[in-house]
Every structure is written in C-alpha cells, then in structure tokens.
Structure 1
Amino acid sequence: MLKKRVAFTSFIIILAFQLLSVSPGVFHWESSFLKVNKNGSIIYKADEKGNTIPDFSRVGFYGGDKKIPDVSIVKTVSPSGTDNDELIIQAAIDEVAKLPLDKNGFRGAILLKKGTYKIPQSIRISASGIVLRGEGDQPEGTKLIATSKKQVSLITVAGNGNIKEVKGSRVKVTDAYVPTGTFSFTVADTKKFKKGDKIILFRPGTQKWIDDLKMNQIEERPGTKQWQAKEYDLSFERIITKIEGNKISIDNPVVMPMETKYGGAEIYNYSFEGRIKHVGVEHIYFESEYEKDTSENHAWNAVAFSKIEHSWVRNVTAKYFGNSCVTLDGSAKNISVLNSNCYDHKSVITGSRRYSFNNNGQLNLFMNCKATDGRHDYVTGARTCGPNVFYNSTAAKTHADIGPHHRWSTGTLYDNITTDGEINIQDRGNWGSGHGWVGVTQVVWNCTVKRAAVQNPWASGKNYCIGLKGEKYDGRLKGRQDAEWEGQNKDGLQPASLYVAQLKARNAKP
C-alpha cells in the first residue's frame, strides 16, 4: 500500500513539474490595457476619456486582407556586367509598363537572372502593376551594384500628383472629443458621403495646442525654430465603412484625440490621380560602391517609394548605403516591407544618415527585418500619420535610437523589436532645428533594448511601454511625464505580439 502511495505521489509531482514546464499559461501575464478572449477577440480597456490602444492590424498590403501575390514573369533580363545593365533593365521596365493591366491589376514580373548588374545612376518604376524580381538576395544571387558618385536611390518607385480635396465635400466633426482607438465619430452632415468613399480625416494644428505642448518654449540655440501651428495640420487617409445617420465609421482607427479645444476635426472626400499601386521589388541583393567608411559621395538608398499604395518590398538585402534599405515618403501608403536586411552603412555618423528602414507614410508594415551599423534603424519622421507597424525586427551595432524621430508622429507600434541600443519616445527639445515632442500613441510592446525613455507629451494623448526588457532612463530632458509603463523586465507577456493578436482578432468567431 505504501509503495502505491509513493508511486502515486511521485506521479503527481512529475505531472505537476511537467505542467509547470510546458504549460504556456503558468508564468504568463496580460496587460491591463487589453484582454484577449478565448475565441481570439480582444477587449480594450478605455481610460476616463474613452481612449484605448488602437488596432494596428490594418496596415501593409491591402491592410492584411490580401496575400502578396507571386506575379507571373513576362520579361527576363540577364547581366552584361557593364554600365549598360541600367539601360537594359530600364528598357525592360518601360516595355512592361506599356502592357495592359490584368484583372488583378498587374502587368507582370521582370526577372533579373542571377549575376552582377552595374547601375551608374538609378532605375525608375513609374507605372502600376510591375514587379522587379531577382533570384536571391545574397551576393551570389541577383546583385545590383550602385556605382554612382551621388546620393541617389538605386531604385526609385514613384507615381505623380498629390492629394486633391473634392470641392464642397468638407464637413465638421461635431464630437467635442474623439478618442484614440475609435473607428467612428459624428459629423454635421453625411449627405455628401457614401460607404466606400476615400476620405481625409483632417486635424488642424492650432496655437493653443502648441502652447499646451510647450513647443513654443523650446530652448534656443543657433537654428532652433519654435513650432508653427500652420505646419502641424495632419491628414489621415481613411475609407468609410458605414454611415448611420450622422455617424461615420472608418476602416482604420483614430490614432490621436480630436478635441474641439484644439480645433477639432473635419473630413472631406479626396482624389489622388497619378498615385500608382501593385508594384513589388523582391529577391534582390543591393550594394553601393564606396571609397571609405565615411564616404558621402555614393548611393544613399537601395529602394525609395513615393506616391504609391498597396505595394511591397520583400526579401531584399542592402549593404554599404549611406542611408537606408527602404525609405517610404509621406505619400506611400499600405506598403509591406518584409524579410529584408540593411547592413554596414557607409557615411559620416551624424544626422540625416543611416535610417535603415525609414517610414514617413501611413498604414505601412515593416516585418522580419534586420539592421546593423545604423543610427535610426526603425524610424518615422515629422508629422507621420498612423497607424504604422514595425514588427519582429532586430538592430545591432547601433549608433542612435529607434522610434519616432521628431515633430509629432502619431500611432506607431514597435512590436518585438530587439536592439543593442535604445528605443526612445520623448521630448527631443532643441535637437535638430527643434525636434520637440516626437509623437503620441506610440506603443512599445515586448521589446528588448539596452535602455529606453518612453514618455507622455504634455497634451493630446498617451504613449505606452508594455513588457519592455531593458533599462528605463530619463531621456534627453529631465522632468518629463512617464508614459504608461507596465511589466518592465517581466517575462511572459501575452499576447507575445500585439500585431499578430490584433490580426487574428479580425477573424475571431463567437
């Protein structure tokens, strides 16, 4: 009997040990700002004003609703090993640009066969539906070498035109306070709008807002500029998903509070003739020639996107460039940058250089990327409108910080970023010509850093630092407010990825 009891007790101990070892829930903890239900749906906890952490899942190529396609090859190019390679590739692009778009909006892929291609200046894609594809992003794959002595982008993908407001369509948002995270608001009149309309959610810059942010009190040094209200108008691109009376619902959330005391908000219909889409750059190795480690007279970016939407860069590697692997300007929207690398920059180590993956656009996704020897490896610029996401990416041998760089970026998620340097969201004061507050609704989720300063601005919302592993420090300027910090240096945050959980929640079934 005793033997049976001992055996049974041993079995219980072993079973308990196994459960503690393998059970995914034993040491896990959840953020107080949201809860993931068993069916995968998410409940967000609102603050006293109704603000929540927003849904970041509707970013990248078609907001994650469509898979990036493998487009059929219509043209094949082989390397000549001479400066004629640029002309040959450009001629192929121009030829494919004349083909009709298929039912899915593509003209076809141009395959660059393995080998080395010399590019003295720059390659340009300016038509929709073209994919530039190589046969591998290693040196032995498809290798494009930028031989320029100027700070060019090796590949420039750009449409033309600008956002144009549809005359007579502008109406006022009537809510006194539209909270962060919401997908709806009321307007004075909905007669001019319908489901499916592309709209601008316009938030004006006002002097009172700047006064309350104290961005009219930046400590002066040579070149410092106090913020000017007219320079801080923000235009968020959205699509109407539902109209109920005077209530309008949109496809992506509000990512900063819209308050009547700061000018409120308006919406209007817009057009963007000339913006291109369905362009891909993939499976290519890019390299810049250079003279020495501090060289400035060579190629600056591997790939630059402008005036473009619903497109991608994937499985590319850039080496020895002065600035970036991929840079997206303010008119680049719904771009996915996936599985890409930026290594060993060559430039002076100072401002406006080594921005490995640089985003100034909106609704963009950077995922599974790597960077070394950069300064601002995953970064947004001035007045960048969210949501945007940097997910599951690394940075090593860093020379500066990751995060929003200056002058009010809104709605960015830094999710599972690992760096040997810093992630900072702070008041940068008089750095640059007056960088000031870098932004709001910046969410740092389950990241690993050397140290971080994550702070709340004096007005217009909050920032969040959840599950950070690393040191917390005061940042550039003393006396700034802490952001919403939770679970510092605490293992087991669930969900491990906010972006992935939010993506799954869209398909959750009751």
Structure 2
Amino acid sequence: MTQPIRQFLLAGSLIALTVGFQPATTPWKSKFLTVNPQGTILYHPDEKGNTIPDFSRVGYYQGDRPIPNVPVVMTVSPADTSSQAIIQNAINEVAKRTPDKNGFRGAILLKKGTYKIPGTIYITTSGIVLRGEGDGEHGTRLIATGNTQRSLIEVMGDGWLEEIPGTRAIITDAYVPTGATSFHVESTAKFKVGDKIVLLRPGTDAWIKDLKMDVIAARSGTKQWQPGEYELYYERVITKIKDNTIFIENPVMMALEKKYGGGSIFKYDFEWRISNVGIEHLRCESTYASDTAEDHGWTAIQINKIENGWVRNVTSRYFGFGCVHLEALAKNITVTNSRCLDAKSKITGGRRYSFNNDGQQNLIMNCYSTEGRHDYVTGARVCGPNVFYNCTAKNTHADIGPHHRWASGTLYDNIVTDGEINVQDRGNWGSGHGWAGVTQILWNCTAKRAAVQSPWANGKNYCIGLKGGKYAGRLTGRPDGEWEGQNKQGLQPGSLFLAQLKARKAMKK
C-alpha cells in the first residue's frame, strides 16, 4: 500500500472515529424530490415542468449487470526488457477467439512483476479483459518507459455514429422539460420499441445570443460560439410507443425549446464500436525526468468508440494527464476503485485531468486522486447522463466540475476535495469556454468553496447539501444556481445516485 493511500485511509478512520462522538444531526430533505417509504422517488417540477433527472442508468450495461469475472484464457509473465510485444501478441491471439454467449473472448492474466512498455498497448476487439494481479507496488506494474507523450493502454473501436437515412422525425412539442422521458413526434411509423436512436438537440443562433456566448470578452485565441458547433447527440433507446408519443429509457438532460430549434430523433448505426472490454487489477506508472517534465507517459488508459466496458482497481502514477480518459464516443463505461497519483507535468492548461469523461452514460465511482488540476471533469459538449460518485481529491491545483463548453446532465455525488467545485461561466478562459454546463447537480459534496451559477437561458444548475464556502466565481453578475442546505448536515438521501438506483430497482418489482 502506498504512503498517500495509507495516509488517506488513516485520515478516514480518524474522521469516522470523531464523527462517532458528535451529537446526532437532524435529517433534512431537498425540496426538489421526495423519497417514498417504498423507495420510489417523486420529483417536484418547477413552473415549466423541469425536474432533477434520473441518473441511475449509467455505467456498464446501465447498472443492470454486475461487472463479470471473465475466465482467464492466456497468461503472460514479464520479459527482461520490453514486454510490449508479448502483451500485444497475447491480445492479438485472444482477439481471434470466438466470443462466448456473453460476448467475451476471455481474460489475459498479467502475472505479478514489472512490464516495461516503450509504446502503447492496443485493444481494438470486443470481449477482451486485461487483468493484473494487483495494483499495489508489488502487483502487476506496467511502466511507460521512454520520452514520448502517449497513452499506455488504448481501448479503441472504429467507425462513427451514422444516421440511418430516412428515419429522422421532428419533435413537435413546444417545450420538452429537463427530466422528461417522453415527447411527441410528427410520426412514429419508422420506429419500434428497442430501437437505438439519437435525440438531437440543435445549436442555434438565437440560443447562443440568449446565452451571450457571441459576446465573450475577447483575448488572443478567443472563439465566439457558433451554431453549427453545438449540435448535441444524446444516445437513447425507445422503451414504448403510444400514438405519436415516444418513450425513452434515459431522460432529457436539457429542455428542448421550440424557440431554440426544438429537437428531433433518428435511428443510427455504429458498426465498428466495440464492447465488453475490461482493464483491471493492475498498476500503471511512467518514468519521468523531473516534477515538471512532459516528455513521458501522458494518459494511463484512453477509451473511445466502445460501449459497455470497465476499468476497476487500477492505480496510475506519474502521468502528465491522467489515469482514465473517456473520450466522446465512450458510452456505458464504469470506472471504479481506481487511483490517480502524483502527476508529473507543468501545472497549467491541458494537464492533470485525473479522471476525464467526455462520453455519455458513464459512471466514475470510488476513485481517489492527488496532485491533479481537474480531477473529476467533463469537456466540451458532453451529453449526459454522467455520474461521479464517492470520489476524493487531495492536494488539488484547480477545480472539479464541467470544464468548458456546455456539458449537460452531470451528477457530482459525495465528491470530497480540498479544492473547489465550480459550475460557472468561464468566460474567455481557454479559447472561450463560456458556460461550462447545464443540469449539473452537486449533491452532498465537500469542498473548500464552490461557485454554482445557472446560465442566462435554457436551464439550471444545482448545489444541494454542500459542505464548504460559496463564492461568486470568476465572473460576477451571473444568475445564481439553485442552492439548498449549504453547510447543513443530515441530507437525506445521503446519495442521490444510490437512491435513484434503488428506486429504479423498486419500480421493477
């Protein structure tokens, strides 16, 4: 066990012991929802019908299947010098196997020891699990050697999300509220239950103007928002059709307003997206020349063009960017019980994003980071739902939250940091980030301080049960978010994500 983790666990034990001697707190409930005695949840809409959405359908198979323990079909031991070829050859051999009835080709077991990797290990085929014998210092250690920036492990499918021609249907409602799971379309003739669809929300000139993202205070490199760059593609599944009403399994994450172009749906294909890939029980490290060196391993695990996969019990150390980067076409990925430690890079933009999610329907839970900048973070035009649950950041150098350009539908649930959590208008930071997000929910989090603002139009952000200070953020004069119960102990439910998951299971009974 590493010293930082040992200190963290000891601190947690001390906190738990101290809490045991504190007087009991009076439980309180949010005004935005009610948890019924049987575990179901009643959401309280605002004047337009918007509610806090259900975030329970995220992660590996939307949380409906446990992460499996896939049988080992090949075992690898470290070489004296580079181990890259033997690991890659093992992956290539397992890729030739026929998947079993559950879609798995098998697990590759990397025995304890040190594996020097001068390049990148690639997984491009479904059904492969890369498993070590532990993420501790004496477990399975993959070392990114050499002086090039790169990912140590890359999990990547191929192709793109393609609209099936002739299947687009316009949503006819004047207003579809946040949290809704149904809407009307001009015709349902081309659709059936079980169809995978895209819920397309266009970016329009009127929307950008009302957000004031066409008048960002300019500096060198600032880009004003452009309508064609803000089309949002939410992947959904049809669960029911009644007359001209479509029902979907995951809710609307931002209101669809006719005055801002409304929305539409279409069926899609993604032929070469892979699935059922796991990385587990191993340790990734990078060599480095100094604390600010940047010519070394950059990301431990990079994932894209895959659905239904996982990373669990992985520790990364000394990388310049982060432990796990879920890119825009990564969907239904669970990252759990993993750590990002002791980043080595300059402390400035584009570095130290410990757990970065740009995809959708992903779950990052029970993770820990040190010396990061943006430890639990989303990027530009990220489509929810996405969840960060029960994660901790220590010795932070920037803030947690949506980083730039309109992430929609993220739950930050029981996040603990000694730094800031911010949801705000970032103005001309970067190349003109502007409004970082909408339908961003902070639930029972702990931070030094937080700025939670709501955009000028088209949605709200929420800060419920924060333990920490409140400040105005980078730019004052922005609308305040929905704040409730700041520094008030005893919020019930203690976790919104777990309560929503329990409620969904209860509804099935």
**8 Å Cα contact 2:25/2:489 also seen in 1:** no
1:160 maps to which of 158, 161, 164: 158
TM-superposed CA distance for 1:148, in Å, is: 3.1
Asked if 1:91 is matched to 2:93, the reply is no
Question: TM-score scaled by structure 1?
Answer: 0.95
TM-superposed CA distance for 1:151, in Å, is: 1.1
**What residue in structure 1 maps to residue 10 of structure 2?**
none
- 1:198-238 deviation per Cα after TM superposition (whole angstroms, max 9, x unaligned): 00000110000000000011001111111001000000000
Alignment of 1:267-282 (within 5 A): 267-282=265-280
Q: Distance in 1 between matches of 2:36 and 2:324?
A: 37
**What residue in structure 2 maps to residue 11 of structure 1?**
none
- 1:281-325 deviation per Cα after TM superposition (whole angstroms, max 9, x unaligned): 000011000000001100100000010000000000000000010
- 1:354-407 deviation per Cα after TM superposition (whole angstroms, max 9, x unaligned): 000000000000000000000000000000000000000000100000000000
Q: Distance in 2 between matches of 1:148 and 1:437?
A: 39
SS class of match (1:499): helix
**What residue in structure 2 maps to residue 131 of structure 1?**
129
Distance 1:29 1:191, change over 3 A: same
Q: Distance in 1 between matches of 2:484 and 2:81?
A: 56
**What residue in structure 2 maps to residue 18 of structure 1?**
none
**8 Å Cα contact 2:60/2:67 also seen in 1:** yes
1:473 maps to which of 471, 474, 491: 471
SS class of match (1:76): strand
**8 Å Cα contact 2:310/2:335 also seen in 1:** yes
Alignment of 1:303-342 (within 5 A): 303-342=301-340
Question: 5+ residue gaps in structure 2?
Answer: 1-19
Alignment of 1:133-282 (within 5 A): 133-282=131-280
Larger radius of gyration: 1
Asked if 1:37 is matched to 2:33, the reply is no
**Letter in structure 1 aligned against 2:283:** Y
Alignment of 1:426-465 (within 5 A): 426-465=424-463
Question: TM-score scaled by structure 2?
Answer: 0.95
Q: Distance in 2 between matches of 1:182 and 1:261?
A: 18
**What residue in structure 2 maps to residue 60 of structure 1?**
59
- 1:471-496 deviation per Cα after TM superposition (whole angstroms, max 9, x unaligned): 00000001011100000000000000
Alignment of 1:328-367 (within 5 A): 328-367=326-365
**Letter in structure 2 aligned against 1:396:** K
TM-superposed CA distance for 1:139, in Å, is: 1.3
**Letter in structure 1 aligned against 2:401:** G
Q: Distance in 1 between matches of 2:59 and 2:505?
A: 17
**What residue in structure 1 maps to residue 397 of structure 2?**
399
Range that drifts further, 144-153 or 417-426: 144-153
Distance 1:295 1:186, change over 3 A: same
Q: Distance in 2 between matches of 1:74 and 1:489?
A: 52
Asked if 1:108 is matched to 2:115, the reply is no
**Letter in structure 1 aligned against 2:52:** I
SS class of match (1:481): coil
RMSD: 1.3
Fraction of identical pairs, as percent: 67
The size of the alignment, in residue pairs, is 489
**What residue in structure 2 maps to residue 15 of structure 1?**
none
SS class of match (2:390): strand
Asked if 1:378 is matched to 2:376, the reply is yes
TM-superposed CA distance for 1:25, in Å, is: 9.2
- 1:72-93 deviation per Cα after TM superposition (whole angstroms, max 9, x unaligned): 000000011311x100000000
**Letter in structure 2 aligned against 1:395:** A
- 1:422-480 deviation per Cα after TM superposition (whole angstroms, max 9, x unaligned): 00000000001100000100000000000000000001110000000000000000101
**Letter in structure 1 aligned against 2:204:** T
**Letter in structure 1 aligned against 2:80:** G
**Letter in structure 2 aligned against 1:106:** F
- 1:238-264 deviation per Cα after TM superposition (whole angstroms, max 9, x unaligned): 000000000000010000000000000
**Letter in structure 2 aligned against 1:71:** V
Q: Distance in 2 between matches of 1:459 and 1:275?
A: 35
**What residue in structure 2 maps to residue 409 of structure 1?**
407
Greater than 6 Å deviation, 4+ residue runs? none
Q: Distance in 2 between matches of 1:148 and 1:400?
A: 28
TM-superposed CA distance for 1:133, in Å, is: 0.1
**What residue in structure 2 maps to residue 503 of structure 1?**
501
TM-superposed CA distance for 1:150, in Å, is: 1.2
**Letter in structure 2 aligned against 1:252:** N
Q: Distance in 2 between matches of 1:150 and 1:501?
A: 44
**What residue in structure 2 maps to residue 76 of structure 1?**
75
Q: Distance in 1 between matches of 2:389 and 2:504?
A: 18
Q: Distance in 2 between matches of 1:148 and 1:170?
A: 49
Question: 5+ residue gaps in structure 1?
Answer: 1-20
SS class of match (2:87): helix
Q: Distance in 1 between matches of 2:221 and 2:305?
A: 31
Q: Distance in 1 between matches of 2:458 and 2:430?
A: 23
Q: Distance in 2 between matches of 1:98 and 1:435?
A: 44
Q: Distance in 1 between matches of 2:383 and 2:81?
A: 42
SS class of match (2:208): helix
SS class of match (1:501): helix
Q: Distance in 2 between matches of 1:267 and 1:323?
A: 36
**Letter in structure 2 aligned against 1:103:** K
**Letter in structure 2 aligned against 1:238:** R
Q: Distance in 2 between matches of 1:467 and 1:146?
A: 41
**What residue in structure 1 maps to residue 289 of structure 2?**
291
Range that drifts further, 24-33 or 429-438: 24-33
TM-superposed CA distance for 1:507, in Å, is: 1.8
Distance 1:26 1:433, change over 3 A: closer
TM-superposed CA distance for 1:26, in Å, is: 6.5
**Letter in structure 2 aligned against 1:48:** E
Q: Distance in 1 between matches of 2:76 and 2:218?
A: 55
Q: Distance in 2 between matches of 1:236 and 1:117?
A: 39
Q: Distance in 1 between matches of 2:371 and 2:330?
A: 26
Q: Distance in 1 between matches of 2:272 and 2:132?
A: 27
